[in-house]
Chain A
Amino acid sequence: MNAHQWLELAVYIAALVLVTKPLGLWINRVLNLSGRTWLDPVMRPLEKLTYHVLRVDPSREHDWKQYTCAMLIFSLVSCLFTYAILRWQDILPLNPQKFGALAQHLAFNTAVSFTTNTNWQSYGGESTMSYFSQMVALASQNFFSAAVGIAVAGALVRGLARHTAQTIGNFWVDLTRIIYYLLLPICLVLALFFVSQGMIQNFMPYTTAKLIEPQTVSVQKTDANGKPVMDAKGNPVMVNQTLDTQTIVQGPMASQVAIKMLGTNGGGYTNANAAHPFENPTPFSNFFQMLALLCISSAMTYHLGRETKNQKHGWTVWSAMFVMFLCGVLVCWWAEARGNPIHQQLGVAAADGNMEGKEVRFGIFDSALFATVTTDASCGAVNSMHDSFTPLGGLVPMFNIQTGEVIFGGVGAGLYGMLIFVILAVFIAGLMVGRTPEYLGKKIEAYDVKMTLLAFVILAFIILGFTAWASVSKWGTSSLANGGPHGLSEMLYAYTSGAGNNGSAFAGLNANTPWWDTTLGVDMLLGRFGMIVPLLALAGSLAKKKIVPAGAGTFPVTGITFAVLLVGTVLLVGALTFLPALTLGPIVEHFLMLKGTLF
């Protein structure tokens, strides 16, 4: 934990703060049909053409049910579209490596994963996906799913800002404007910047390079059918194999990485994700990828304040998110820098901490920061392997996700997730000021509480339910590379990541099996839409209400008291729900490690 690293943290925070207001103002204009931007001369004609082709009347707004239907239909169609491409990959163009079609369960899992902005990957990108699949199926879905998230958050904020209104916006307009005015322009700049840093962007077939120093590895001997050969004792027979060539990945990478970060999607072009030297070539590219991850989610809080005419509230929500973010970074960084006591006793520990699973060029700090940012933001891109973090260091990313992805969170998803906790906090503590709880002048009544809690209960239900099922099933435990508490952590992390639409993984788990692919697919679908639908219902209910003018007796949703209350609610509700499971996983593992047991 040296001065240079502290400085980088300070620069990162400063950049995040500086970008929040201008980007928030920009988003505010994008989410208003009448908002003017300097991109209008270029984008307006395109926007109008899109409405014309889609036969959308932009001035006709939706009530919450129409908005939800439009959103669900769009998601379903784009999911099927992705599924179809993946299934027919072998007959589609731009496939120089001649990759075959994906299996049903993998195509389902992947299509769902990208539609829900999760980007859980049960496959290795460079050994599975053609350029066509990467660009048309996956990259475009990255745009779509990010735009859906922002649109839903925008609709919810509209519900808060409006009064006695029936409608919460037009889904098609929101979707179009978010893609044209927000995501595409920034991604264009970002992609060019990445290319300048050495990221690749081409359609060349993979390059084969001759190794300067051939390597000899020991591999399992297989028979004619590809089955491992066993010796008399039942142990696999090993043979030596000499490797003298290496296949180097190529393809349209920069264009996809830009939206992968900006849209908090996180689906890596390569299996190593942002740890791959092509996908994250320099410290600069690393820094800006981390910034791109959080910037829209951070700016959404400014949009919240702007739209509801309570900028202080926007910043209060931001502060609550920021405090939790900072605590996460510091704990994770400290745990990783402290390293593994067993390695230290054996004298094999790296000088600066636990370097297992980390890129030497990023080191402890950049890995810990990236891990915190990517799990806060529900992104899932990684530049180090979370599986190899120390138990406490790995607890941070997992807990970040289990808070419901509300520490900045995914684009849009972070804000609407946080609003669940805001409403919970307002409801629990709001009574204590002696009035029916009000949030921004809207009375929180039985229906609103019901919808808010439904969104929350669904999350807890799928995470705990699926993990419990997997932990006592053969299909569940047979995919584990590690036993004991760490195995439980891997399973818990997988379903948490899926339900939270994060997509990062504790890599020890082989999730590409029919059972895991399918259950994770359902997990992701419920985690995304099980949360969105009640929240859109909430938006519709809030929009209909009158706004009670604020006064001295109004529950304060600004200031330190509320920020503390909000953080307390997120931590308490998150902790109380998952603590029993976490205790059996990472917490027991931590204490076992201190006593010298590793998994």
Chain B
Amino acid sequence: MQTKTVSVFDPKILWPAIGDAFIKLNPRLMIKNPVMFVTMIGAAISTVDIFRSPGQTGFVLQIAIWLWFTVLFANFAEAVAEGRGKAQAKALRATRTRTGANKISGDRIEVVDADSLRKGDVVVVRATEIIPADGEIILGAATVDESAITGESAPVIREAGGDRSAVTGGTRVLSDEIKIRITANPGEGFLDRMIQLVEGASRQKTPNEIALTILLAALTVVFLLAVVTLKPFGIYSGTVFSNAVLIALLVCLIPTTIGGLLSAIGIAGMDRLLQRNVLAMSGRAVEAAGDVDVLLLDKTGTITLGNRQAVAFVPASGVTERELADAAQLASLADETPEGRSIVVLAKNYGIRARSIHELPDAHFVPFTAQLRMSGVNLEGKQIRKGSTNAIRQFTGGMFPTEIEKVVEGISLSGGTPLVVATRERVLGVIHLKDIVKGGLADRFKRFRVMGIRTVMITGDNKLTAAAIAQEAGVDDFLAEAKPEDKLALIRQEQQGGRMIAMIGDGTNDAPALAQADVGVAMNTGTQAAKEAGNMVDLDSNPTKLLEIIEIGKQLLITRGALTTFSIANDVAKYFAIIPAMLMVTFPVIAPLNVMHLHSPDSAILSAVIFNALIIIALIPLALRGVKFRPLGAVQILRINLLVYGLCGVILPFIGIKLIDIIIAGLHLA
């Protein structure tokens, strides 16, 4: 995305956020957040009290100001979190220029407005034109510039049929001409949804957020009870607690820190995904990512580099390696697959220069067919073929040395794919094709294992090959010889056992599994069906992204938990600041409870309120960035976070309140 470098603390975001903080004071918006709503009511009451507290005006005024600040700070946090999304949405809107479309009606083409297109219409898009709406290519192939969505400037190829047929409205065709069937009505397209998502307009509370809001609301009710009943207790004890003091106590006790930052944390989580070019269709999906127990990873593209590569030639006895390399290269000259090209390249190491097809005009190339399962070349009366063991065995009429059979078996066992090279007369040797496992994966999987997440590799390979690759890559389990329906069955079975599953996929046949999985990430290059079925889209189409998605999901939950713990732990110090201050006048004997030796009752209460407000501002960066994520087991994470956010949550406010008190006393504010 072009705007992905926008920093949270960019003035472009900060200035509008200040304005938004005031707009968000609208009670209808505030009531969605019970904690801050109560704070706002408290602020309102103390504002009225300024004029009803002769002799105390200065004190009540300061309390009221800081209570308003508390509410504004919380709104500001939310506005900042939304800011980046808004900036991105603006950039996206700018790319959505009004376009015309060449709609095919009957046998003629008419130019219509893009907004008039409906699902099922068919349009023609030529080079340099903008694709008018989301659709599926039904005829032709084209290079398409999708930078408007992915931020990636290199054009991609889109073609009819197969898994790369989906195109997105707003992207530009660079070459060729394609016929597209429209799959989305105006306003429902991918770009529209994307704008809505990054803007946060369609944001709904996630299940976890709802549960946490209930907890915070209940704590607010309990503290409301504790504070409201102080009034009658005070009457009984012969003390009068002023409204301002009671409200100050209440606001300090209710969990304003987490209450004020809760929605910012959620928005920031979605935003962090977006920075990695992953578009989550709902916050629920991000949250579910943290809960994932099992990762289903396709072997190809995720665990191994896209394709197999030739790594060695194993000649039969009586054949030199060079002869084998020469024959293998000839057989692969017309083979445009990456495997074929890798054979040509490997043969160069034997001093054989890469010949061009045009140099051999009398050569007849035999392409790969599913029936024969081999390919090769007929040249100078010689038929050279390369193919699977069984295919070559048939080709040579059953003549197959046991020595070669052993080599083939050895290669299979090591996780490689053997490709036998032969002429009609004799078997020349074996090409060792190997899956190249991506670097650093084993480490990553290990980290997941520590966190209790199991990785399962899915592959169409046979069991032997699969087992070898599984071991090399360090996955926990594998599903070999997998058909698309096996994937779905595996997901169902794991879910039956109460586990949550994440997978990434692109093809149409992945769609059912993507829909069934708890976290289904579709690649942007994938089919429309896959994108509809999943609950996230990876704009980079990078399968390893799944790992990052999970880390972000966990980080989101940890941040919420840490700030909740911190917020509640803070209350201890606030009690020690405010309660002695409240009672000091009537019961001077209570002085020893003033453990922080705060300057005066007024300054003690004011310090607690100020600390309570400032801590929200101080924690905004943490809420937006998320707490540091450590790939450890639950026990260690809990222990560390309890120490950092629980224990520090108890101690820090003692220090903070004392410092603020010193400043207040120094400035003679109370």
Q: Which residues of A contact B (CB under 8 A)?
A: 163, 424, 427-436, 441, 444-446, 448-450, 453-454, 456-457, 460-461, 464-465, 467-469, 471-472, 477, 484-485, 487-488, 546-549, 551-556, 559, 561, 564-565, 568, 572, 576-581, 583-584, 587-588, 591-592, 594-595
In contact, B229 and A427 (Cβ under 8 angstroms): no
Among the listed B232, B565, B641, which residue makes an inter-chain contact with A471, where contact means beta carbons less than 8 Å apart? B232
| Complex A-B: 9 CB contacts under 8 Å | A424-B215, A428-B564, A429-B565, A431-B562, A444-B211, A457-B222, A485-B237, A487-B236, A553-B634
Measured between alpha carbons, how far is A578 from B634 in the docked complex, in Å? Answer: 33
Given contacts A436-B557, A555-B638, A579-B575, contact A471 B236 (CB under 8 A): yes
A449 touches B211 (CB 8 A): yes
Q: Mark B516-553, 1 if CB is under 8 A from A, else 0.
A: 00000000000000000000000000000000000001
Q: How far is the CA of A170 from the CA of B211 in the complex (A)?
A: 30
Given known pairs A431-B564, A552-B449, the reply for A472 and B558 (CB within 8 Å) is no
**Cα distance A445–B638 when bound, in Å?**
20
A379 to B167 CA separation, bound complex (whole angstroms): 73
Query: In the assembled complex, which residues on chain A have CB atoms less than 8 Å from the CB atom of B633?
Result: 552-553
Q: Does B99 contact A (CB under 8 A)?
A: no
In contact, A434 and B233 (Cβ under 8 angstroms): no
* Bound form: Cα–Cα A594–B591 in Å: 12
In the assembled complex, which residues on chain B have CB atoms less than 8 Å from the CB atom of A457? 218, 221-222, 225
**Complex alpha-carbon distance, A124 and B336, angstroms:** 100
A424→B214 CA distance, assembly (Å): 12
A436-B208, A553-B451, A559-B635 known; 4 other A-B pairs, CB under 8 Å? A453-B218, A468-B229, A572-B571, A591-B587
Give bound CA distance, A487 to B642, whole Å.
39
Residues of B within 8 A of A (CB): 207-208, 210-212, 214-215, 218, 221-223, 225-237, 249, 253, 287, 290-291, 293, 449-454, 497-500, 553-555, 557-558, 560-562, 564-565, 568-569, 571-572, 575, 579, 583, 587, 589-590, 592-593, 629, 633-635, 637-639, 641-642, 645-646
* CB-defined contacts of B568 to chain A, threshold 8 Å: 428, 572, 576
Give the residues in chain A near B235, CB-CB below 8 Å: 471-472
Contacting residues, chain A, for B226 (C-beta < 8 A) = 460, 464, 576-581
Beta-carbon contact of A435 and B498 below 8 Å: no
Q: Which residues of chain B are near A465, meaning CB under 8 Å? A: 225, 229
Contacts known (A445-B207, A457-B221, A464-B229); A588 close to B637, Cβ less than 8 A: no
Return the contact of A446 from the options B210, B222, B560, B645 (Cβ within 8 A): B210
Which of A468, A552, A583 touches B583 (beta carbons < 8 Å)? Answer: A583
A584-B210 contact given A429-B642, A552-B450, CB 8 Å threshold? no
Rounded to whole Å, the gap between the CB of B297 and the closest CB of chain A is 18
Q: How far is the CA of A454 from the CA of B217 in the complex (A)?
A: 11
A585 and chain B: residue at smallest CB distance: B233
Asked if B635 and A427 sit within 8 Å, CB to CB, the answer is no
Shortest 5 CB-CB contacts between residues of A and residues of B: A553-B452, A431-B561, A434-B554, A551-B452, A432-B561
A580 with B638, Cβ < 8 A, contacts A468-B229, A485-B237 known: no
CA distance A294 to B228 in the complex (A): 36
* Neighbour of A488 across the interface among B236, B452, B641, CB < 8 A: B236
Q: What A residues does B291 contact at CB under 8 A?
A: 435-436
> Which residue, B226, B554, B557, B634, has most C-beta atoms of chain A within 10 A?
B634
Contact A436 B233 (CB under 8 A): no
Q: Which of A424, A461, A551, A591 contacts B293 (CB 8 A)?
A: A551
Contact status of A435 and B557, CB under 8 A, knowing A445-B207, A464-B229: yes
Q: Which residues of B contact A553 (CB under 8 A)?
A: 293, 451-453, 633-634
Task: Give bound CA distance, A428 to B208, whole Å.
Answer: 11
B232: chain A residues at CB < 8 Å are 468-469, 471-472
Q: Are B214 and A450 in contact (CB under 8 A)?
A: yes
**Complex: how many Å from CA A576 to CA B237?**
20
Residues on the B chain within 8 Å of A584, using CB: 230, 233-234, 236-237, 583
Taking a contact as CB atoms under 8 Å apart, the answer to whether B215 and A453 are in contact is yes
Residues of A within 8 A of B230 (CB): 580-581, 584
Partner of B233 from the list A444, A488, A572, A576 (CB cut-off 8 Å) is A488
Q: Find A445's partner among B211, B450, B589, B639 (CB 8 Å cutoff).
A: B211
Please, which residues of chain B bring their CB within 8 A of the CB of A450?
214
Set of chain B residues within 8 Å of A477, measured between Cβ atoms: 236
Tell me how far the C-beta of B535 lies from the nearest C-beta in chain A, rounded to whole angstroms: 16
Q: Are A432 and B562 in contact (CB under 8 A)?
A: yes
Closest Cβ of chain B to A409, distance in Å, is 20
Residues from chain B with a CB closer than 8 A to the CB of A484 are 237
Q: How far is the CB of A508 from chain B (nearest CB, A)?
A: 15
- Chain B residues closer than 8 Å to A444, beta-carbon distance: 211
Q: Given A446-B214, A580-B227, verify A549-B564 contact (CB < 8 Å).
A: no
- Chain A residues near B221: list those with CB within 8 A: 457
Give Cα A430–Cα B562 distance, bound, in whole angstroms. Answer: 9
Q: Which B residues are in CB contact (< 8 Å) with A579?
A: 226, 575, 579
Chain B residues contacting A432 (CB-CB under 8 Å) are 558, 561-562, 565, 637-638, 641-642, 645
A477 to chain B, nearest CB (A): 7
The answer to whether B557 and A592 have CB atoms under 8 Å apart is: no
Residues of chain A within 8 A (CB-CB) of B557 are 431, 434-436
CA A428 to CA B589, docked complex, whole Å: 37
Pairwise interchain contact A433-B589, C-beta atoms closer than 8 A: no
* Bound CA span A464–B225, Å: 7
Query: With the chains together, A151 CA to B638 CA distance in Å?
Result: 34
A434-B555, A469-B232, A471-B236 known; A554 and B575 CB under 8 Å?
A: no
> Looking at B564, B565, B638, which has the most chain A CB atoms within 10 Å of its CB?
B638
| Neighbouring A residues of B579 by C-beta, 8 Å | 579-580, 583
Whether A556 and B638, one on each chain, are in contact in the complex, defined by CB atoms closer than 8 angstroms, is yes
Min C-beta distance of A543 to chain B, whole Å = 14
CA distance A485 to B589 in the complex (A): 13
**Most B C-beta atoms less than 10 A away, residue of A457, A577, A583:** A583
List, in ascending order, chain B residues with CB within 8 A of A551's CB. Answer: 293, 452, 454
Among the listed B497, B498, B558, which residue makes an inter-chain contact with A431, where contact means beta carbons less than 8 Å apart?
A: B558
Query: With A436-B287, A453-B215, A460-B226 as given contacts, are A446 and B207 in contact (CB-CB < 8 Å)?
Result: yes
Q: Are B589's CB and A552's CB within 8 A?
A: no
Alpha-carbon distance between A465 and B564 when the two chains are bound, in angstroms: 27
B265 to chain A, nearest CB (A): 11
Given contacts A436-B287, A449-B211, A488-B236, are A561 and B639 in contact (CB under 8 A)?
Answer: yes
- Are A594 and B589 within 8 A (Cβ)? yes
Point out the residues of chain B lying under 8 angstroms from A547, CB to CB: 498
> Which residue of chain B is the closest to A438 with respect to CB atoms?
B291
Query: How far apart sit A441 and B452, CA to CA, in the bound complex (Å)?
Result: 14
Report B191 CB to chain A, min CB distance, Å: 32
Contact A588–B222 (Cβ < 8 Å): no
- Give the CA-CA distance A561 to B639 in the complex, in Å: 7
Chain B residue numbers with a CB within 8 Å of A445 are 207, 211
B222 engages A456 (CB within 8 Å): yes
Quote the shortest CB–CB distance from A419 to chain B (angstroms): 16
The answer to whether A581 and B642 have CB atoms under 8 Å apart is: no
B638:A433 contact, CB within 8 angstroms: yes
**Closest Cβ neighbor of B290 among chain A residues:** A434
Q: Which residue on A lies nearest to B586, using beta carbons?
A: A588
A559 neighbours in B (Cβ, 8 Å): 635
Bound-state CA distance A43–B227 (Å) is: 53
